[in-house]
Structure 1
Amino acid sequence: MKKITVVAAALMLTFTSCVSKKKYAELENKNKEIQDLLNSATVKLNNCLTEKSAMSDQLDYLKKNNSDLINSSKELTVLTTKGAENLEKSLESLKEKDLKISRLQDALSKKDSVTLALVTSLKKEVGLNDPDINVNVEKGVVFISIADNLLFKSGSYEVSPGAKTVLGKVAKVINSKPDFECMVEGHTDNVPIKNTVLLDNWDLSVKRATSIVRVLQNDLGVDPKQLIPAGRSYFIPLVANDTPENRAKNRRTKIIILPKIDQFYDMIEKEMKSLSENK
C-alpha cells in the first residue's frame, strides 16, 4: 500500500512538470479513485479476516459439539443396554415374588384345610346339641369351650366324675392326632376367692387347668407332651360379670387345639421376610 502511494506521488510530480493542468486534474481524480478503491479493499479484507476468525471459532465449537454428541450416543447405548438388563432382572424378581406369594397362599390354604378338618372331627365327636359345649374357630385356632358346671363344683378345682365323658371325647380327637397340641385354659368369674389352698382367682383358674390336664394324661391316655395348662383368672370374660347368669357363662374351661403345623408357619415367615428384603 505504501509503494502504491509513493508511485502515485512520483507520477504527480512528473506530470506536474510536463503535463497540462487539465491532465493533472484528471490524474489526480484517478488517483483519488484508486485510493478509495484501496481503502474499500482494505475494509473488506479486515471484514473477511474477522469473519474467518468467527467461522474458525464456530468450526471448533461444532467439532466439540459433534464429539460430545458421539460420546452421548455411546453412553445412551450403554444406558439402553443396562436398562434392558434391569428390566429383565425386574421381571425375574416379579416372577420370584409371584412364586413366593403362590407358596404363601398354598400354605395358608393348607392350614385352613387342616383347621376345617379338625373342627369337623371335634363337632362329630363332642356333638352339637349340648348348649354348655361350644366348638368354634377363633383367630385361626380351633377351640372347645366347656361350661364349668360340667367339670367342677362351685369354687372347686376337683374334676367331677361326669366330666370324664366330655373329656373322653376330646381325648379321642387328641389321641388320633399326635401332631397336635392341646392348651387347657381356666377362666373364672370376678367373685373373689381365698381359702387355705387358693390365694385368688388366678390360683383357681390355673388349678382347674392342671386338674383337666391330669385327667387327660392319667385317665384318658393323652401324651403329656401334647398338653399345656394355663390360667386366665377373670380377665377375659365372655360377658359382663353383672348377673349370676353372666358369671356362670364366664366360668368356663377353654380347650384349644393347636395343630403342629410349624413347617407352614416357618415357611410363611421365611417367605414374608424374603419378600420384605426384595422390596
Structure 2
Amino acid sequence: MKYYLLMGTLALTILFQGCVSNKKYKELEAKYADLQQRGRELNQKYQGSQQDLSGSSARVKSLEEQIAAERKNVAALQAALDKCLSSTKQGNVNISKLVDEINSSNKYIQHLVNTKNKSDSLNMVLTNNLTRSLSREELRDVDVQVLKGVVYISLSDNMLYKSGSYEILPKAGETLSKIAKIIKDYRDYDVLIEGNTDNVPISQTNIRNNWDLSALRASSVVQSLQNTYGVDPKRLTAGGRGEYNPLAGNDTEAGKAKNRRTQIIITPKLDQFMELIEKAPEPKKE
C-alpha cells in the first residue's frame, strides 16, 4: 500500500515539479530507484523459492518411492520367513542341524586361533629372551626370526667355525651356552640343527663335498649342545642341506657369507599339532 502511495506521490511530483524544489525532486527520484531495485530482488527471491520448493517436492517423492520399495522388500522377507517357519518338522530339524554345525565349526576355528596366538606368543617370548641375552657383538653374527610359528636362529659360520672346517671355535662357546639355556627352558619344543654352505667346492681329504661339510657342522653343534651344555639329545636332530638352501645369490662375497650359516630351528612337537587335528568337529550324520 505504501508502495503505491509513494508511486502516486512521485507521479504528482512529476506533474507539478515546477511546484517542488529541485532537492526534493532528487530525493523522491532516489527513493523511486530504490523501490525498483527492491522489487527486482523480491522477484528473484520468489523465483528462487519456487525452484527450492520444486526440488524439495522431487526429493520427497524420491524418498517416498524408496520407502515404498523397502516396505515391499520387508514384506517379501517376512513372507519367506513365515514360509520357513511354517515348513515341516523335518525342515526345521535340518535348519537346526545346520545352525549346530556352523556353531561347532566357529568354535573350532576360534580354538585354532587361540592356539596359534598362544604359540606365537611363546615363540616371541623365546626370541626376546634370546636376543636380550646376546651382546651387540654377538648380534652381528646371530639372526633371530619367527616365521609361521617357527623360531629360526641363524648363526654365521665366521662365529662358529674356521673356514672349510666343522670344528667349533672356542669363541662360539658363550653364544651356544645362551642358546642352550633357552632351549632347555622351553622343553616342549623340538630342535633341528641345519647346516648350510655356499656353492664353493670344498677341498679336504676327509670331506667329500658341501653335503658332508654342512652335515658335519650341524652334527658338531648338536654334540656341543648335548655334551657341553646338557641339552636332551632326544630333542635334537642334525641335518645338512649343502649349498641348496641359499638365502642370497652366490655371485658376491656378501651373498656367500649369508649362505654359509647354521640354523637352529625350534618348533612345537608334532603331537601338539596332532592334538589340534583330533579336536576337529566330526560331520554330523543325516
Provide the rounded CA distance (Å) in 1 between the counterparts of 2:258 and 2:119.
Answer: 31
Structure 1 contact 184–228 (Cα < 8 Å) conserved? yes
Q: What residue is the counterpart of 1:121 in the other structure?
A: 129
Pairwise CA distance, 1:241: 0.4
List aligned pairs for 1:55-134, cutoff 5 A. 80-127=88-135, 130-134=139-143
Tell me the amino acid that sits aligned with residue 215 of structure 2.
Answer: V
* TM superposition score normalised by structure 2: 0.65
Is 2:206 aligned against 1:197? yes
RMSD of Structure 2 on Structure 1 (CA): 2.4
Provide the rounded CA distance (Å) in 1 between the counterparts of 2:147 and 2:133.
Answer: 19
Structure 1 contact 152–160 (Cα < 8 Å) conserved? yes
% identity of equivalent residues: 43
Pairwise CA distance, 1:259: 3.3
Question: 234, 238, 243: which one pairs with 2:247?
Answer: 238
Pairwise CA distance, 1:83: 0.8
Provide the rounded CA distance (Å) in 1 between the counterparts of 2:100 and 2:192.
Answer: 44
Provide the rounded CA distance (Å) in 1 between the counterparts of 2:104 and 2:256.
Answer: 54
Which runs of no fewer than 5 residues in structure 2 stay unpaired? 1-84
Provide the rounded CA distance (Å) in 1 between the counterparts of 2:179 and 2:220.
Answer: 15
Provide the rounded CA distance (Å) in 1 between the counterparts of 2:133 and 2:190.
Answer: 17
Tell me the amino acid that sits aligned with residue 87 of structure 1.
Answer: I
List aligned pairs for 1:1-279, cutoff 5 A. 80-127=88-135, 130-260=139-269, 262-263=271-272, 265-271=273-279, 274=281, 277=283
Pairwise CA distance, 1:145: 0.7
Pairwise CA distance, 1:271: 4.5
Tell me the amino acid that sits aligned with residue 99 of structure 1.
Answer: K
Pairwise CA distance, 1:167: 0.6
Which runs of no fewer than 5 residues in structure 1 stay unpaired? 1-76
Provide the rounded CA distance (Å) in 2 between the counterparts of 1:208 and 1:118.
Answer: 24
Pairwise CA distance, 1:88: 1.5
* SS, match of residue 199 in structure 1: coil
Q: What residue is the counterpart of 2:35 in the other structure?
A: none
Tell me the amino acid that sits aligned with residue 185 of structure 2.
Answer: S
Tell me the amino acid that sits aligned with residue 201 of structure 1.
Answer: N
* TM superposition score normalised by structure 1: 0.66
Pairwise CA distance, 1:125: 2.2
CA-to-aligned-CA distance 1:110-155 (integer Å, 9 cap, x gap): 1112112211121122346522111111232111111100010110
Structure 1 contact 126–170 (Cα < 8 Å) conserved? no
Provide the rounded CA distance (Å) in 1 between the counterparts of 2:284 and 2:240.
Answer: 42
* SS, match of residue 194 in structure 2: strand
Change (3 A) 1:247 1:199: same
Pairwise CA distance, 1:107: 1.4
Provide the rounded CA distance (Å) in 2 between the counterparts of 1:270 and 1:127.
Answer: 43
Which has more radius of gyration? 1
> What is the count of residue pairs matched by the alignment?
201
